[in-house]
Amino acid sequence: MNAFKTSILLAGLTALVLAAGLLLGGEGGLVLAIGFALFGNIFAYWSSDKMVLSMYGARQVDETAHPALVGTVKQLAARAQLPMPKVYVIDTPQPNAFATGRNPDNAAVAATTGLLDNLSHQEIAGVMAHELAHVKNRDTLIMTITATLAGALSMLAASAMFFGGRSQNNPLGSLGTILVTILAPVAAMLVQMAISRTREYQADRLGAEICGRPLWLASALEKLETLSHRIDNDQAEHNPATAHLFIINPLHARKVDNLFSTHPSTSNRVHYLRDMAASSLELPPPSRP
């Protein structure tokens, strides 16, 4: 169902781009905007993992430096039938984690020192399984597509604002141009956020299956929610556009489970995982490295 909802949202965003392009600049303006957006996002697609990891000062670790973390990721990757991703640690006291990379063969998972210091082995396994689920679901690719479409909309709106939208297909004239210029980027942002929330639910479900213990992830989410409210993540606060990457929203100025949130409410996610644990037999968990 989540995959279906994501497809519907992507289709809606595509339709929004087409309609705005025709209203603001005709077919020529739409093609130009999509061309610029594609160029920018292709660059981001190939370099996003390096850019984000560098932004957070992440350092790659091996089994010598962090045997428990790397060993857990290796076991979980094998269970998920994924190539072993690179493992990074970020020096920040806020417990959190994210995955990046354009595909499973070029993936990386990152955990903060706060996560390693405050969570149990079982909870860390649940979090890493969630991040590997993002890798397996190719969520980075999905978010790149949405960024491309949203970028096209933003460029169309900017062009209309500075140069004036002129199209014979616009039945509302100047009023239609103003409305599309203001509302189209906002609508694109809302769709992006809805897709991000949908992918989080999907990653929770698959992550619980990978680690074999939905309650491990549920416990981790509850602890992360509590601690993230009390502990700052300075890098994230200065780079809010990356907030959707993390398993828990790292920003303090958050809205819970509304249109402007990149994450579902933690209580909803925990409730879903507890229902999952109660309704299905749990798989054998990975052994402790």
Among residues 123, 131, 200, 209, the one annotated as catalytic is 131
Better-predicted residue by pLDDT, 81 or 174: 81
Buried/exposed 41-59: b ≥16 CB within 10 Å, e otherwise = beebbeebbeebbeebebe
Residue 131 annotated in active site: yes
Question: Mean pLDDT across the stretch 52-57?
Answer: 91
pLDDT in tens, 10-52: 666 666 666 666 666 666 656 766 666 667 667 667 777 888 8
pLDDT in tens, 192-236: 666 677 789 999 999 999 999 999 999 999 999 999 889 988 888
The DSSP element (H or E) to which 174 belongs, if any, is helix 173-211
**Other Cβ atoms closer than 10 A to 269:** 26
Closest listed residue to residue 36, CA positions, set 146, 155, 147? 155
| The model's pTM | 0.77
pLDDT of 253 strictly over 60:
no
The answer to whether the CB of 126 falls within 8 A of the CB of 90 is no
CA dihedral 117, 123, 124, 129 (to 10 degrees): -160
Better-predicted residue by pLDDT, 263 or 189: 263
pLDDT in tens, 164-189: 555 455 554 555 556 666 666 666 66
Please report which confidence band the pLDDT of residue 73 belongs to, taking 50, 70 and 90 as the band edges. very high
